[in-house]
Amino acid sequence: MRRVYLDNNATTPVLPDVLEAMRPYFTERFGNASSIHHHGQETRAAIENARESVAQLLGSSASEIIFTSGGTEGDNLAIAGLVAAGDHVITSSIEHHAVLHACKHLQDAGCEVTVLPVDGRCLIDPADVRRALRPNTKLISVMMANNETGVLQPLEEIGRIAAEAGICFHTDAVQAAGKVPIDVKQIGCQALTISGHKIHAPQGTGALYLKKGTKLRPLFYGGRHERSHRPGTENVPGIVGLGKAAQIAIAAFAREDDTKMAAMRDRLQHEILKVIDEAGVNGDGTPRVPNTSNIHFDHIEGESLVIALDLKGLAVSTGAACSSGAIEPSHVLVAMGLRPDQARASIRFSLGKQTTDEDIDFALSLVPETVARLRELSPAYKKQVITT
C-alpha cells in the first residue's frame, strides 16, 4: 500500500545524509568528548563542528549554542533559567505546551504570568506586549512559528519592545527552523529554541541559543558540559546529526527550496478549497512557514478524517501530536476564535524535504472524496443541507 506522510510538524524522517554523518559515532568514533585521549578529541571535534553549523543556521556565534535533548528541554531551560520567584513573564495563548506548562509551573512557584491573546489570523499584537509590561517583567516568550497553523509572529517588533524595556526575550523557533531563515540578531532575542526532529535530525536532539552574557540557571547539575548550562555526557551521534541537518537546511535556503515547498503547499491548499465548500485555511492571509496548511472542513470530525485518510495511506494530523487523542479542541484554534466544532473539524497538512509533487497529487486524490463521504454520514451536514 502506498503511504504518504504529510505530518512533518509532528516529526520528520532522518535524511539519508544525516544518518550517514551520524553512523561512525555509534561505532568506531565512540569516545567521551570530555576525555583527553584521541577518542575523546575526535568526538569533541565533531561536537564543535556541529555547534558551528547550528550557529550558522541561527546567525549566532558557536559559543552561544547549548545542545539539549529537544524543544521541550530548550523551552524549559530558557523559561525556568531566566526567571525567579516574584518575576513577571509574558507569553501567548498559542504557545506549545512546552512553554505554556513551563509558565504554569513558574506561576505555582511564585511568578506572575500574563498570557496574551491572538487575533483570528493567529497573530499576537505587539501593542499588547507593550501594554502587558510591568516593573517586574523579566521575560517575554513568544513563539516564532505556530506548530498548528504555521503562522509567523511579528518577532522583530516584539524584540524591539523587549530591548527598549531591557528585558529578556525568548522565542520557541522549533517550527520555524529550517523552514524560514533565522537571524537571532535581527530578532533581538536572548534565547531561541530549536528541535532536531523537526528538521530531519533524530528525535531527542535540539539546541538553545543563549546570547553571550545572558545569565541562565541550569535545569540539571553535574559536570561542566555545555559550559555547565546543560551538564551530562553529550549525545554525540545526535549532535552530529543535528549539525548535518543544519548544514542541509542552509544549503536548501541557498537553492530556494523553501519557495518550491510553498508552491507545493499552496497547490494542495488551492486545489482542496476549489472543490470543497465550507472549508477554509486557518491563519490565511498572514505570513506562514512554507510547509504548513491547517484547513477546517466544517461539519465533520477532524479525528474521523485523520483515521479515514490513514486507512487509505495518507498521514495528516488534527494539530499538535501530543494533544491528538484528547477530546478538547486545539487551544490554538480556539484562541483564534474558531468555534469548538470548527476547531475539531480542522486538519493540519505539513510537508517535509522528502515531499514530492506526486505526494501532493496522492493527497488531492483522497481528501475531497473522503471529506464528501464523511459529510454524507454527518447528521449536522445533512440537517444543514435540508434546511438551506
Q: Determine how β-strand 279-281 pairs with β-strand 292-297.
A: antiparallel
Query: Min. distance of Cβ 66 from ligand PLP in angstroms?
Result: 14
Under rule CB under 6 A, residue 178 binds ligand PLP: no
Shortest-Cβ-distance residue relative to ligand PLP: 71
Q: Which residues pair with residue 349 across a beta bridge?
A: 293
Per CB under 6 A, the segment of 35-43, 65-73, 306-314, 374-382 that binds ligand PLP is 65-73
Under rule CB under 6 A, residue 98 binds ligand PLP: yes
What span, in angstroms and rounded, lies between the C-alpha atoms of 368 and 21?
41
Residues 180-199 that bind ligand PLP (CB under 6 A): 195, 197
Under rule CB under 6 A, residue 94 binds ligand PLP: no
Per CB under 6 A, the segment of 66-74, 178-186, 226-234, 280-288 that binds ligand PLP is 66-74
What span, in angstroms and rounded, lies between the C-alpha atoms of 270 and 276?
10
Query: Min. distance of Cβ 96 from ligand PLP in angstroms?
Result: 3
Per CB under 6 A, the segment of 37-45, 171-179, 305-313, 350-358 that binds ligand PLP is 171-179
Query: Min. distance of Cβ 91 from ligand PLP in angstroms?
Result: 12
Under rule CB under 6 A, residue 72 binds ligand PLP: yes
322 noted as active-site residue: yes
Among 31, 70, 150, 237, binds ligand PLP (CB under 6 A): 70
Active-site choice (103, 111, 168, 322): 322
The grid cell for 251 is: 544549503
Under rule CB under 6 A, residue 147 binds ligand PLP: yes
User: Given the complex with ligand PLP, which of 236 and 242 has the nearer CB atom?
Assistant: 242
Cα atoms in the Cβ-side hemisphere of radius 13 Å centred on 305: 30
User: Given the complex with ligand PLP, which of 205 and 370 has the nearer CB atom?
Assistant: 205
Under rule CB under 6 A, residue 175 binds ligand PLP: yes
Q: How far is CA 296 from the centre of its chain?
A: 20
Residue 307 contacts by C-beta under 8 Å, 6 or more apart in sequence? none
Q: How far is CA 361 from the centre of its chain?
A: 26
Query: Min. distance of Cβ 305 from ligand PLP in angstroms?
Result: 21
What character string, x for contact with ligand PLP (CB under 6 A) and - otherwise, covers 5-44?
----------------------------------------
Per CB under 6 A, the segment of 14-22, 68-76, 181-189, 274-282 that binds ligand PLP is 68-76
Q: Can you list the pairs that 2-5 forms with residues at least 24 positions away whose Cβ atoms lie under 8 Å?
A: 2/313, 2/362, 3/313, 3/314, 3/315, 4/313, 4/314, 4/315, 4/359, 4/362, 4/363, 5/315, 5/352, 5/354, 5/355, 5/359
Under rule CB under 6 A, residue 202 binds ligand PLP: no
Closest CA to 71 of 153, 143, 149: 143
Residues binding ligand PLP: number (CB under 6 A): 15
Per CB under 6 A, the segment of 14-22, 67-75, 283-291, 359-367 that binds ligand PLP is 67-75
Contact 97, 322 (CB under 8 A): yes
Query: Min. distance of Cβ 73 from ligand PLP in angstroms?
Result: 7
Under rule CB under 6 A, residue 171 binds ligand PLP: no
User: Given the complex with ligand PLP, which of 60 and 292 has the nearer CB atom?
Assistant: 292
Under rule CB under 6 A, residue 201 binds ligand PLP: no
Residues that bind ligand PLP (CB under 6 A): 70-72, 75, 96, 98, 143, 147, 172, 174-175, 195, 197, 206, 320
